[in-house]
Homo-oligomer: A and B are copies of this chain.
Amino acid sequence: MARGLGRVFSGLKRLVTLSVMWSMKHPIYSVSSRTPPVRSMALLPLPCSKIQDFSLPNSTWNSEMLQLYKHYNSLCEVETEGGEKEGQWKKIPGYNRLLKYATGGVYLSKIIQSKARLFTRNINEPGAGFEYVLFVNREEQKCVGIWQCGHLLEGPPGHVHGGAIATMIDTVTGCVASLTGAVMTANLNINYRSPIQLGTTVVIETVVEKIEGRKKFILCKVTSPDGTKLHTDATALFLSIDINKLLLGR
């Protein structure tokens, strides 16, 4: 994280990163007895939490979402009995604000007091807007997003709005770009190859192509769950920022 970010996020000192063992014996879908426990990482405050992680399965997730979620969860970091860590991927918890639960700084406090919500989490009805979960692989500088596009995301009749697709791309490319510090989008160049029907699940794969000073160049593709259909490809450029300056409006 950028140095400035550390000051702003002083409240985050109270937060700890926990490995959350989440039973796959969930009523909404059946899992074979050989399925390993789901492994994910979540930022949770102590001693107890009322923070909702929206990136966990709910009853609106279709079978493709659940399959992909299960697959990447199986690749996630988990501590073995011997104390060693296995798995290169980590699940990113999905809150409805980036900084809602951090404290520190008059500017941040003002924002917290507002009613602002993350654009991708501003629909309360499960399944109606974006349903998604992000996984990152820090070593390989990759991020994968699994998205289910609800009926409130329409652009062309029956299909997902170009802006909604751009929103998903900005989110996943931004996630991988921010692995080494706070960033802001500088450029998105998006090729729309094949329309996405409402209700569809897509996989968004991103990787850091190169880093030049403050510039982080990201590659991105949006495909069908089995990877056979390319819906969209994109490049993204992000700039490292001092988030204090953003909050101060400089």
* Interface, chain A (partner B; CB < 8 A): 97-99, 107-108, 111, 114-120, 122-123, 128-129, 151-164, 166-171, 174, 184-192, 195, 197-198, 243, 246-247, 249
Whether B161 and A120, one on each chain, are in contact in the complex, defined by CB atoms closer than 8 angstroms, is yes
Most buried by B among A107, A162, A188, A195: A162
Most buried by B among A111, A188, A197, A198: A188
Given contacts A117-B151, A118-B155, A157-B99, contact A164 B167 (CB under 8 A): yes
Whether B195 and A246, one on each chain, are in contact in the complex, defined by CB atoms closer than 8 angstroms, is yes
Supply 15 A–B pairs (Cβ within 8 Å), ascending by A. Answer: A114-B198, A116-B158, A120-B163, A122-B129, A122-B153, A155-B170, A162-B166, A163-B164, A184-B192, A184-B195, A186-B191, A188-B190, A189-B189, A189-B190, A195-B246
Whether A162 and B174, one on each chain, are in contact in the complex, defined by CB atoms closer than 8 angstroms, is yes
**Cβ distance A243 to chain B, nearest Cβ, rounded Å:** 7
Whether A118 and B158, one on each chain, are in contact in the complex, defined by CB atoms closer than 8 angstroms, is no
Whether B119 and A152, one on each chain, are in contact in the complex, defined by CB atoms closer than 8 angstroms, is yes
**Cβ distance A218 to chain B, nearest Cβ, rounded Å:** 12
Please name all residues of chain B whose beta carbon is closer than 8 Å to the beta carbon of A188 when the two chains form the complex. 162, 166, 188-190, 192
Whether B154 and A161, one on each chain, are in contact in the complex, defined by CB atoms closer than 8 angstroms, is no
Whether B159 and A185, one on each chain, are in contact in the complex, defined by CB atoms closer than 8 angstroms, is no
Smallest CB gap from A235: residue in B: B189
Please name all residues of chain B whose beta carbon is closer than 8 Å to the beta carbon of A187 when the two chains form the complex. 189-192
Smallest CB gap from A154: residue in B: B116
Partner of A246, one of B157, B168, B198: B157
Given contacts A167-B167, A184-B195, contact A154 B118 (CB under 8 A): yes
Smallest CB gap from A151: residue in B: B116
Known: A108-B157, A115-B151, A123-B123. 20 other contacts (CB 8 A): A97-B154, A98-B154, A111-B157, A116-B152, A116-B154, A116-B198, A118-B154, A118-B161, A119-B161, A122-B128, A122-B152, A161-B167, A161-B170, A163-B169, A166-B170, A184-B195, A185-B192, A186-B191, A187-B191, A189-B190
